[in-house]
Structure 1
Amino acid sequence: MNQPVEDSLVAAEAELQRAQLASDVAALEALLHPDVVYVAPDGAEYDRSQDLESHASGQLRLTSLEQVQGSARQFGSTGATRARIKLAGLAGGAPFEAEMLYTRTWVFDQGRWQVVQAQGTSLPPSA
């Protein structure tokens, strides 16, 4: 398949969230482009190997992930998703709860969507 199916980006975003919650490193490897860069709320940049290692090692373990709001737009073989997410878990062994806004840029390559750029922004807790 050389062209993405309509609404397949929505499914890719959902699969990414499922893989993050499960720390499913194999699924994350398939969903993250080799050159992906994630920009954290503090401006730190993380590459694919750092992201995968955080899940594989248990450094980051999510216990809940709930998408509150989201959107996806496809432009041929590129796309963008935006997801407002409530999440909780352990980071470095310390518990956390957060509400985040994630913006991700995706490319459709070799028959699948992959994230090439992502940014997370911390949001104040919603009432």
Structure 2
Amino acid sequence: MPSHVVDQIVALEERLRIAMLAADCDALDQLIAADLIFTDHMGRVLSKADDLDAHRSGLLKLDHLQPSEMKISATPQLAVVSVRMKMTGTYDEGPFAADLRYTRVWRHSTSAGWEVLAGHSSHVVAT
């Protein structure tokens, strides 16, 4: 596994975390692939537009995202990340706290650089 790719993905994961906390849709637009497929912890399949709309509209507001237990498997063009994320915020004006595990697939292209192509989240039930 190329260490420079791992370093890039760690930095991108941090950029993504900061953009999510700030609801920075411009940064999220750059980090998320147009053809994103994301399956959330409720089993819903969401697109890039769905993700950006949730942040832009204020439907989803994140107050705290604490990553841990990150694992990365990477090639020069593809990386898979598993990360545990403890979070708090509001969804549809209702407060929530969650302990989720995310799996994200990052794809590299010469035209767009690194982007999240796919993702999945699930509740952590045991510590």
TM-score, length-normalised on structure 2?
0.91
What count of residue pairs does the alignment treat as equivalent? 123
Q: Matches of 1:13 and 1:116 in 2, distance apart?
A: 13
Which residue of the partner structure matches residue 112 of structure 1? 113
1:7-46 to 2 correspondence within 5 Å? 7-46=7-46
Which residue of the partner structure matches residue 50 of structure 1? 50
Q: Matches of 1:125 and 1:19 in 2, distance apart?
A: 28
Q: Is the 8 A contact 1:98 1:125 kept in 2?
A: no
Q: Matches of 2:78 and 2:90 in 1, distance apart?
A: 33
| Structure 2 counterpart SS, 1:43 | coil
Q: Matches of 1:125 and 1:78 in 2, distance apart?
A: 29
Q: Is the 8 A contact 1:99 1:125 kept in 2?
A: no
CA 1:100/1:112 → structure 2, altered by over 3 Å: closer, same or farther? same
Which residue of the partner structure matches residue 123 of structure 1? 124
TM-score, length-normalised on structure 1?
0.91
Gaps of 5+ in 1: none
| Structure 1 counterpart SS, 2:100 | strand
Which residue of the partner structure matches residue 73 of structure 2? 73
Mean Cα deviation higher: 30-39 or 74-83: 74-83
Which residue of the partner structure matches residue 98 of structure 2? 98
State the one-letter code of the partner of 2:62. Answer: L
Gaps of 5+ in 2: none
Deviation, 1:9, is 1.1
State the one-letter code of the partner of 2:55. Answer: H
Mean Cα deviation higher: 60-69 or 6-15: 6-15
- % identical equivalent positions: 28
